[in-house]
């Protein structure tokens, strides 16, 4: 699940003006500043964190499989994610070709439990594993969670191909058409993306066996759909329903973990 997109939701502010108004205009300026502070500021911060994580993912993929996306499927998938999130081309290329100058990065998977017994998996990329483990453990402790072996059993690895809501010709993709495409491509299921900005059309998630990820992605593109990203992810086997108070505490924990720069992917099983 992509946690950075869910952190910057805020109601859209709409300003109305009247040519007959001759009174003070200080409130108009105040409203514009409020929008910058309350909407643009958090979104820019979330965008910066996202680009930081994507850059680290690019460097790690390039180090593990080489700098050519045509010969490195993992790198090609990350590049797709970067483009889908409008990361500048220069930043993508700088991250890929800056591998030799960057510190070695470790890829880690932390298991944890949160409020109400919810299960958490955290994918971490870091050049300092001891620091990252300390930071994550501290966040968990502050928000009613703990490191816990066995949380991984609440998830299963699946291939997930995210496809844009419109096809390559710009036409909307209906759920019926997506289901038909899923059958033809060999995917097991398709559903709308859960966490999207309110003003955007939701992407579609095609779920398949991890070993079939690249094949399903290629077949969906051949069918005229527009893949945004393809990756192996951890999907919950069963979801848990938390009571309101516990759910709010869990939400604060997820937000704090999402703000941790070393956490690149965060999976949970909340309904």
Express each pLDDT in 111-133 by its tens digit. Answer: 999 999 999 999 998 989 999 99
Q: Examine the pLDDT at 42 and tell me if it is beyond 90.
A: no
Q: Is the CB of residue 51 less than 8 Å from the CB of residue 78? A: no
Q: How confident is the model at residue 136 (pLDDT cuts 50, 70, 90)?
A: very high
Q: How confident is the model at residue 21 (pLDDT cuts 50, 70, 90)?
A: very low
4, 5, 112, 219, 227 from 53: Cα distances, Å: 10, 13, 21, 29, 20
| Of the candidate ranges 88-102, 164-178, 250-264, the one whose mean pLDDT is the lowest | 88-102
Mean pLDDT rounded to a whole number for the chain: 81
| Of the candidate ranges 30-39, 62-71, 130-139, 230-239, the one whose mean pLDDT is the lowest | 30-39
Nearest-CA neighbor of 220 among 170, 180, 172, 171? 180
Please tell me the predicted confidence (pLDDT) of residue 4. 39
Nearest-CA neighbor of 260 among 160, 170, 138, 91? 138
Q: Which residues of 100-127 are buried (b: 16+ CB within 10 A; e: fewer)?
A: eeeeebeebebbbbbbbebbbbbbbbbe
Which residue in this structure is represented by tokens 């105040």? 30
For residues 22 and 199, the model is more confident at 199
Q: Examine the pLDDT at 207 and tell me if it is beyond 80.
A: yes
CA 140 and chain centroid, separation: 20
42-56, 74-88, 153-167, 185-199, range with greatest mean pLDDT = 153-167
DSSP SS3 for 146: strand
Residue 12: how many CB atoms within 10 A of its CB? 8
Q: How confident is the model at residue 99 (pLDDT cuts 50, 70, 90)?
A: low
Q: Examine the pLDDT at 7 and tell me if it is beyond 80.
A: no
The backbone torsions φ and ψ at residue 39, rounded to the nearest 5 degrees and listed phi first, read -115, -60
Please tell me the predicted confidence (pLDDT) of residue 11. 33
Classify residue 238 as left (phi > 0), alpha (psi -120 to 50) or beta: beta
Q: Is the CB of residue 211 less than 8 Å from the CB of residue 64? A: no
Provide CB contacts within 8 A for 115, sequence distance 6+.
Answer: 143, 144, 145, 242, 246, 249, 250, 253
């Amino acid at each position: 699940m992509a946690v950075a997109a869910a952190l910057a939701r805020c109601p859209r502010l709409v300003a109305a003006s009247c040519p007959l108004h001759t009174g003070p205009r200080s409130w108009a300026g105040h409203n514009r500043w409020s929008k910058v502070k309350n909407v643009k500021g958090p979104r820019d911060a979330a965008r910066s964190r996202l680009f930081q994580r994507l850059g680290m993912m690019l460097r790690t993929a390039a180090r593990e499989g080489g700098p050519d996306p045509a010969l490195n499927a993992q790198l090609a998938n990350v590049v797709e994610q970067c483009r889908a999130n409008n990361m500048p081309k220069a930043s993508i290329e700088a991250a890929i070709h800056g591998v030799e100058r960057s510190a070695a990065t470790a890829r880690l998977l932390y298991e944890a439990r949160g409020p109400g017994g919810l299960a958490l998996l955290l994918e971490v990329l870091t050049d300092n594993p001891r620091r990252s483990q300390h930071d994550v453990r501290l966040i968990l402790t502050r928000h009613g969670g703990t490191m816990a072996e066995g949380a991984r059993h609440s998830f299963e690895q699946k291939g997930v191909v995210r496809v844009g809501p419109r096809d390559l010709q710009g036409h909307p993709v209906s759920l019926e058409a997506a289901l038909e495409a899923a059958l033809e491509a060999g995917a097991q299921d398709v559903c709308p993306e859960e966490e999207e900005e309110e003003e955007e059309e939701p992407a579609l998630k095609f779920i398949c066996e991890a070993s079939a990820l690249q094949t399903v992605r290629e077949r969906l593109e051949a069918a005229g759909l527009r893949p945004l990203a393809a990756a192996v992810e951890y999907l919950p086997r069963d979801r848990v329903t938390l009571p309101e108070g516990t759910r709010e505490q869990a939400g604060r924990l997820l937000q704090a973990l999402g703000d941790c720069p070393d956490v690149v992917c965060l999976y949970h099983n909340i309904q």
